[in-house]
């Protein structure tokens, strides 16, 4: 391959300069490196060159944007997988907690069912009213009535009011 003569290079200089300017713009180089065109270049040739490469520059820009979007899509998909794994872990934990709570509630109800009514009445009277009402509602109605009979009248009335409110299908308010 032979090297072109210096006169041949001089004839192509405006195109080479325009190409270097376009390459610098596409690579994001600072503006100082974009002033490579000699004073002898014609504005016509530069415009023609830029007109010829506008489609290629647009295609390159779209390709870069597409690649960036694909990268972002991959990151989002990975985060979604992580969130799904975390959600499954929380659902498993919640399921185990619910099973434990049901078992604990059944055990507590069984304990109160086996207690003497006066002792159960004394202990339920010391609990939060909502908790005591929930335990009484879980007991056999006969056992609950005996325990309520052993309580102070105000406490039994308050617990009965809570139990009635909880048994309603619609909230009147």
d(CA 48, CA 45): 5
Residue, of 115 and 24, whose pLDDT is higher: 115
15 band by pLDDT with thresholds 50, 70 and 90: low
Say yes or no to pLDDT of 3 above 90.
Answer: no
**Count of domains forming the chain:** 2
The answer to whether residue 100 is domain-embedded is no
The answer to whether residue 106 is domain-embedded is no
- Domain range for 54 is 1-92
Count of alpha carbons within 13 Å of 100, Cβ hemisphere only? Answer: 6
| pLDDT one-digit tens code per residue, 63-113 | 999 999 999 999 999 999 999 999 999 999 999 999 998 898 889 999 999
Q: Which candidate, 145, 146, 152, places its Cα nearest to that of 122?
A: 152
Average confidence score pLDDT of the chain: 81
The pLDDT value recorded for residue 1 is 45
Q: What's the pTM value of the predicted model, to 2 decimals? A: 0.46
Say yes or no to pLDDT of 25 above 80.
Answer: no
Residues 80 and 119 in one domain: no
Residues 7 and 83 in one domain: yes
Residues 121 and 70 in one domain: no
Q: Which candidate, 19, 6, 15, places its Cα nearest to that of 41?
A: 15
Average pLDDT over residues 3-14: 52
Say yes or no to pLDDT of 35 above 60.
Answer: no
Average pLDDT over residues 56-67: 91
């Amino acid at each position: 391959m032979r090297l072109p003569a210096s006169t041949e290079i001089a004839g192509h200089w405006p195109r080479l300069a325009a190409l270097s300017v376009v390459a610098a713009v596409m690579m994001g180089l600072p503006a100082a490196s974009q002033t490579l065109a000699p004073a002898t270049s014609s504005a016509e040739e530069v415009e023609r060159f830029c007109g010829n490469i506008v489609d290629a520059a647009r295609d390159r820009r779209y390709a870069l944007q597409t690649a960036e979007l694909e990268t972002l899509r991959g990151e989002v998909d990975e985060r979604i997988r992580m969130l799904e794994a975390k959600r499954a872990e929380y659902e498993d934990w919640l399921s185990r907690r619910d099973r434990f709570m049901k078992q604990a509630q059944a055990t507590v109800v069984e304990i109160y069912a086996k207690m003497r009514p006066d002792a159960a009445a004394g202990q339920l009277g010391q609990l939060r009213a909502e908790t005591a009402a929930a335990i009484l509602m879980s007991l056999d109605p006969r056992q609950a009535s005996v325990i309520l009979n052993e309580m102070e009248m105000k406490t039994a009335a308050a617990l009965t009011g809570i139990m009635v409110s909880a048994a309603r299908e619609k909230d009147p308010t």
